[in-house]
Amino acid sequence: MTVVQIATQIPFVTKDGSTIRSVLDRSNAPVQNQSLAEAVVPTGGVTQRHYHKLSEEFYFILEGSGRMEVDGEERELQPGDAILIPAGAWHQVTASRTLRFLCCCAPPYAHEDTYFE
């Protein structure tokens, strides 16, 4: 059994500009097929528009508000929203109020699988 306490995980900034703390991924567990992280985008923050060739992502909004764009379609975000981001889909997050959300990637998140315009 692997149990990880998120408070012990050191935050890092991803290539798109969001701040991430790993919950479970290859860096802290014997993970093979997915990763789970807590992401934070501060008030007024915008991630750099990007896509992942391999990873499908789920975002689950815990706190805050903002806007999500996936392949040109935009939606307002609020706590309780779950977003599917298919592999290959361009996406970007804009925070009206600091957004805190869970991000699940399958296969696991990798900087090398992040592509920009």
Domains and CATH numbers, the chain: 6-116 (2.60.120.10)
Tokens of 30: 């014997």
Phi, then psi, of 37 in degrees rounded to 5:
-140, 160
Between strands 73-77 and 56-70, the pairing is antiparallel
Encoding tokens for residue 44?
A: 């007024």
Query: 29-55, pLDDT tens digit by residue?
Result: 999 999 999 999 999 999 999 999 999
Judge whether residue 106 has pLDDT over 90: yes
Task: Identify the pLDDT of residue 14.
Answer: 87
Q: Look at residue 26 and tell me whether its pLDDT is greater than 90.
A: yes
How far is residue 39's CA from residue 65's CA, in Å, rounded to a whole number?
Answer: 13
- How many Å apart are CA 1 and CA 24, to the nearest integer? 12
pLDDT digits (tens, 9 = 90+) for 56-75: 999 999 999 999 999 999 99
The share of the chain scoring above pLDDT 90, in percent, equals 93
DSSP letter assigned to residue 44: T
Q: Largest Cα–Cα distance in the chain? A: 41
Structure tokens that stand for 96 in this block: 């009206």
CA distance 48 to 106: 20
Q: How far is CA 14 from CA 69, 78, 115, in A?
A: 18, 22, 12
